[in-house]
Amino acid sequence: MKQPDNPFWPKKSILNPAEPKEPYVPVRCVRGTLTREEQRSLDRIAVKKFQIPLMTLMEHAGLAVADIASYVAGATTTPIHIFAGRGNNGGDAYVCARLLHARGFSTTVWDCFPGVEHSGAVRTMRDVAQNLGIRILPAEEFNPQGFGSGVSRMIDDKMSGIPCVAIDGILGTGYEISRPLPPNLSRITAKIEESHRRGARVVSIDIPTGVDSDTAEVDPHAVMADCTVTFILPKQGMTRGKGREHSGQIRIFSLGLPINFADLALGPPR
């Protein structure tokens, strides 16, 4: 019997070395956060290079927010108020409104830019929501004083309810500390905060309005979220300082993309 055929002959030895292994390539590199410009680049690359329709990304984002809002609400008896901007953050908000409406929630969209002409995917998502009968009203008309402070309903005989869930889809990463929130948006975020004090739960889309996604600095009228639903990776400004305080619990969703998409699109972190 030849030595290599001998079952007792070691399979790895000096005379019979093992085959060299291929170098290990990690599933995702050590990139942990995204800056504002990196997030914008990811959006462009996903659409142009990988041919992923923007509306597909919005559908995934809106679904993620709807799932979190459903969990926070606890029951379909809890009203949900969605504050929508005019950018992609607003498009996510309109998708979320449609999905929550389909699940039986009492859903109202508060348009933070009434009278402004929407375009592209955002306009499509807004039109769909409106055609399905979802109420879309000017955000200036939102009245948080209509909510009683504390508990307003019971989900069942053991679990208390909350006045409402407020979803912040106003600006997202579009806010920069060098450009303070304009007075009309400051009044809206103040109303969101008042409803928060009256017992509402606040969910922000991607990053709370008024938090700079690069520097973690916050506007005096920034939204204080209980939970932030962010996409692909956390934004740099929501992981430290006051930006972290305003973000509450952070939930990350991949938008149906590979876990290493940021590295595929932008290259490994430097």
Encode pLDDT of 77-119 as tens digits: 899 999 999 999 999 999 999 999 999 999 999 999 998 888 8
Does residue 111 sit in helix, strand or coil? strand
**Cα–Cα distance between 153 and 179 in angstroms, integer?**
40
Domain edges within the chain: 31-142+154-264
Per-chain mean pLDDT for the chain:
88
- pLDDT > 50? residue 155: no
Please report, rounded to a whole number, the percentage of residues in the chain having pLDDT higher than 90.
71
pLDDT at 7: 63
Selecting from 3.20.20.70, 3.40.50.10260, 3.40.190.10, 3.40.50.720, what CATH number does the domain 31-142+154-264 have?
3.40.50.10260
Q: For 200-235, b where at least 16 C-beta lie within 10 A, e where not — what string?
A: bbbbbbbbbbbbbbbbbbbbebbbbbbbbbbbbbbb
Please report, rounded to a whole number, the percentage of residues in the chain having pLDDT higher than 70.
85
Query: Which of the residue ranges 59-73, 166-180, 254-268 would you say has the lowest mean pLDDT?
Result: 254-268
Amino acid at 202: V
Q: Which helix (H) or strand (E) holds 227?
A: strand 227-231
Q: Is 145 exposed, middle or buried (0-12, 13-18, 19+ CB in 10 A)?
A: exposed
Name the residue among 79, 90, 63 with its Cα closest to residue 185: 90
pLDDT at 74: 87
At residue 199 the predicted structure's pLDDT band, cuts being 50, 70 and 90, is confident
**Cα–Cα distance between 96 and 67 in angstroms, integer?**
9
Instruction: Decide if 203 contacts 170 (C-beta within 8 A).
Output: no
Q: Output the CA–CA distances (angstroms, integers) from residue 145 to 78, 192, 222, in the order listed.
A: 16, 11, 20
> What is the model's pTM?
0.84
- The residue written with tokens 């992923």 in the block is 52
